[in-house]
């Protein structure tokens, strides 16, 4: 009998074990991060009932990731070995706005990078910020509701946004970034990108390291003021799309320096901050940036709908040498992104050219709407089989991750310092940047009920007294420093 091919996920990554689900102990519950199980079950549920929905506005381009550094001691990932060059696809987006929204609006920018590696697609789905508004995925739908339209007025609601944020102090770090000058970039070329979540590296000795991904723009950070942004929108609602497309067409290829922060697995419990908390950063003094290579964008898509609107990136798409972490938001996104694509584009979105791995795919997912794959070996349409079908390969199994604790709903705000890092960020700003930040917050709070403003101002005060007092003064509300400090 000829050698059997290695079974893969739909993203082309090899499967290490197709017989056993991922669980917390031999008799424990299953884990949400078992994306292989979720992919199989979700695909089966949709083999006969395809669904589709719309998606946020974005821009994208193809390029290359070149590795110039050596981090082989941390990871076996083929695409990260010295000298490698890997084809990439990078989709930018505004997060809250609809497809018709203007590009030059104050918002977080999505930074979703796909690498078409020799071992399947590897996706890093992040933002232009290293943190996010919430740390528990149970609150993600609630947060997103505040960013969308009010069900009665059909308009965006500043009251909803600040009401949610003022009762969710973990949002302070991201809110401070969003309301700073970096909340309104001049173009996609002038933003940094972050994996934001904590991922894992696995090396040749089967050792695990925690890792964060950073992409620093070589074009420099450039931002608009609110007034400048309004003028841009008045003249051009597609300013980011136009800038990116025209720069690449003219041969002015944008570039980013790719770096990582690496933490030994055993260090996870050694700091005041939780390294798996999406509202926190790892201080560079603890884990300095290690430069790995360069990301360049050098080719525009030929068809926007086919290649950008139908792009379906997911943090579930990892490759050997790259893994996930106990980051709760990441674990939920491992499921929710793929599920959104199955709803929006269809169960076979991975067969579209922009999503198709550059390596062979051997999976037992079957049929569904718009299937173009078929069965290369029609007798082997289930697993295990006796007809030469693809099988799992134990060499791709990740090392076990030790877990402990009772199954419960833990209050993630108890004992969590949500004020230190946004306060540190405020103190790092120049006087002019602090002024812009506080002016922007005051403008964004216009019309919000006073009791919500006061509640939010107290949070700012706990970050830094000058921060809280500056907002209170602008909003003409009283602030009791004693109460605010409690």
Q: What pLDDT score does 25 carry?
A: 74
For the question of residue 127 being annotated catalytic, the response is yes
Residues 82 and 192 in one domain: yes
246: tokens are 């025209």
Average pLDDT over residues 309-333: 93
In this structure, the answer to whether residues 46 and 107 fall within a common structural domain is: yes
pLDDT in tens, 278-307: 999 999 999 999 999 999 999 999 999 889
Residue 27 confidence (pLDDT): 63
pLDDT(273) > 80: yes
| 310 and 457 assigned to the same domain | no
- 319 and 427 part of one domain: no
User: Is the predicted pLDDT of residue 485 greater than 90, yes or no?
Assistant: no
pLDDT of residue 162: 98
Q: What is the mean pLDDT of residues 7-19?
A: 81
User: At residue 51, does pLDDT exceed 60?
Assistant: no
pLDDT at 44: 60
Assess whether pLDDT exceeds 60 at residue 308.
yes
Using the predicted structure, report yes or no on whether residue 77 has a pLDDT greater than 60.
yes
Contact residues for 241 (Cβ-Cβ < 8 A; gap 6+)? 59, 103
Whether residues 278 and 192 share a domain: the answer is yes
Read off the pLDDT of residues 406-423 as tens digits, 9 standing for 90 and up.
878 888 898 899 999 999
CA atoms of 403 and 401, how far apart (whole Å): 6
411 lies in some domain: no
Whether the Cβ atoms of residue 337 and residue 56 lie closer than 8 Å to each other: no
Residues 392 and 431 in one domain: no
Q: How far apart are CA 458 and CA 378, in angstroms?
A: 65
Query: Going by C-beta distance under 8 Å and a sequence separation of 6 or more, which residues neighbour residue 69?
Result: 82, 290, 291, 292, 293
Residue 409 located in a structural domain: no
Q: What is the mean pLDDT of residues 15-28?
A: 75
192 shares its domain with 332? yes
- Residue for token digits 């933490």? 263
317 and 429 share one domain: no
Find the range with the poorest average confidence among 23-32, 102-111, 321-330, 470-479: 23-32
192 in Cβ contact with 295 (< 8 Å): no
pLDDT at 433: 97
* Total number of domains in the chain: 2
Residue pair 34/22 in contact by the 8 Å Cβ criterion: yes
Buried b (16+ CB within 10 A) or exposed e, 251-279: eeebbbbbbbbbbeeeeeeeeebbbbbbb
For residues 299 and 435, membership in a common domain is answered with no
Residue 271: its pLDDT value, please?
95
The per-residue pLDDT for 2 is 56
Residue 28's pLDDT is: 66
Report the pLDDT value the prediction gives residue 365, as an integer from 0 to 100: 86
Residue 44 lies in a domain: yes
- The active-site residue out of 127, 355, 365, 440 is 127
* SS3 label, residue 97: coil
At residue 351, the pLDDT reads 87
Q: Which of 333, 364, 396 is the last residue of a domain?
A: 396
Task: Please check whether residue 374 lies inside any domain of the structure.
Answer: yes
On whether both 205 and 103 belong to a single domain, the answer is: yes
Mean pLDDT of 86-106: 91
Give the domain CATH number at 335.
2.40.180.10
Q: Is residue 275 part of a domain?
A: yes
Provide CB contacts within 8 A for 105, sequence distance 6+.
Answer: 94, 97, 184, 229, 233
Query: Does residue 157 lie in a domain region?
Result: no
> Is 280 found in the same domain as 211?
yes
Answer yes or no: is 193 within a domain.
yes
Phi, psi torsion values for 377, nearest 5 degrees: -130, 85
The whole-angstrom separation of Cα 340 and Cα 112 is 15
Exactly one of 43, 55, 197, 341 is catalytic; which is it? 55
Residue 233 and residue 102 in contact, taking contact as beta carbons nearer than 8 Å: yes
Q: Contact at 8 Å (CB) between 196 and 228?
A: no
Last residue in a domain, options 364, 396, 428: 396
User: Which of 348, 380, 396 is the last residue before a domain boundary?
Assistant: 396
Long-range contacts, 17-24 (Cβ 8 Å, 24+): 17/392, 17/394, 17/397, 18/383, 18/391, 18/392, 19/392, 24/403
> Any residues with CB less than 8 A from the CB of 76 and at least 6 apart, and which?
202, 203, 204, 320, 321
* Chain Cα centroid distance, residue 447: 32
pLDDT tens, residue by residue, 328-360: 989 988 988 898 888 888 888 888 899 999 998
CB 54 within 8 A of CB 99: yes
The confidence band for 11, taking pLDDT boundaries of 50, 70 and 90, is: confident
Q: What digits encode the pLDDT tens for the residues 208-258?
A: 999 999 999 999 999 999 999 999 999 999 999 999 999 999 999 999 999
| Rama region for 337: left / alpha / beta (φ>0; ψ in -120 to 50; rest) | alpha
Please check whether residue 21 lies inside any domain of the structure.
no
Q: Are strands 85-94 and 109-117 parallel, antiparallel or unpaired?
A: antiparallel
Which residues neighbour 457 within 8 Å (Cβ) at sequence distance 6 or greater?
A: 468, 471, 472, 475, 477, 479, 484
Beta partners for 116?
A: 121
Q: pLDDT grade, residue 16 (50/70/90)?
A: confident
User: Annotated catalytic, 20?
Assistant: no
In which domain, by residue range, is 254 found? 35-133+168-396
pLDDT of residue 486: 65
Same domain, residue pair 321 and 442: no
pLDDT at 312 over 70: yes
Question: Residue 483's pLDDT is what?
Answer: 66
- 456-473 core/surface letters (b: 16 or more CB in 10 A; e: else): bbbbbbbbbeebbbbbbe
């Amino acid at each position: 009998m000829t050698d059997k091919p290695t079974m893969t996920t739909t993203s082309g990554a090899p499967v290490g074990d197709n017989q056993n689900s991922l669980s917390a102990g031999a008799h424990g519950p299953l884990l949400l991060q078992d994306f292989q199980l979720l992919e199989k079950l979700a695909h089966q549920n949709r083999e006969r009932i395809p669904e589709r929905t719309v998606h946020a506005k974005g821009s994208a381009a193809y390029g290359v990731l070149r590795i110039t550094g050596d981090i082989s001691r941390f990871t076996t990932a083929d695409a990260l070995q010295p000298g490698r060059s890997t084809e990439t696809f990078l989709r930018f987006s505004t997060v809250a706005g609809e497809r018709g929204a203007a590009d030059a609006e104050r918002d977080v920018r999505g930074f979703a990078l796909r690498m078409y590696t020799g071992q399947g697609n590897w996706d890093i789905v992040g933002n232009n910020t290293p943190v996010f508004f919430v740390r528990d995925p149970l609150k993600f739908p609630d947060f997103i509701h505040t960013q969308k339209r009010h069900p009665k007025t059909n308009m965006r609601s500043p009251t909803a946004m600040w009401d949610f944020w003022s009762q969710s102090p973990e949002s302070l770090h991201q809110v401070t970034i969003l309301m700073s000058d970096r909340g309104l970039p001049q173009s996609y070329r002038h933003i940094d990108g972050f994996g934001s979540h904590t991922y894992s590296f696995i090396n040749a000795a089967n050792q695990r390291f925690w890792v964060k991904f950073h992409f620093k723009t070589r074009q420099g950070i450039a931002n608009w003021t609110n007034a400048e942004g309004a003028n841009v929108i008045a003249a051009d609602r597609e300013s980011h799309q136009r800038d990116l497309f025209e720069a690449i067409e003219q041969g002015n290829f944008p570039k980013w320096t790719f770096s990582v922060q690496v933490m030994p697995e055993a260090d996870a419990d050694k700091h005041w901050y939780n390294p798996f908390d999406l509202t926190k950063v790892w201080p560079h003094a603890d884990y300095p940036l290690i430069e790995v290579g360069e990301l360049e964008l050098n080719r525009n898509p030929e068809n926007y709908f086919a290649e950008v609107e139908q792009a379906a990136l997911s943090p579930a798409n990892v490759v050997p040498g790259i893994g996930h972490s106990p980051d709760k938001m990441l674990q939920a996104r491992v499921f929710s992104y793929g599920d959104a694509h199955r709803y929006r584009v269809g169960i076979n979105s991975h067969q579209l050219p922009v999503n198709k791995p550059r390596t062979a795919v051997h999976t037992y997912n079957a049929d569904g709407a718009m299937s173009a794959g078929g069965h290369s070996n029609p007798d082997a349409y289930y697993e295990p089989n006796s007809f030469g079908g693809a099988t799992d390969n134990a060499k791709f199994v990740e090392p076990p991750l030790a877990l402990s604790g009772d199954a419960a709903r833990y209050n993630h705000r108890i004992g969590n310092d949500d004020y230190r890092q946004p306060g540190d960020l405020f103190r790092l700003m120049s006087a002019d940047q602090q002024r812009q930040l506080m002016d922007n917050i005051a403008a964004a709070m216009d019309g919000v009920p006073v009791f919500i403003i006061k509640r939010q101002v107290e949070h700012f005060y706990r970050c830094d007294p000058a921060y809280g007092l500056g907002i209170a003064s602008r909003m003409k509300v009283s602030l009791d420093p004693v109460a605010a400090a409690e």
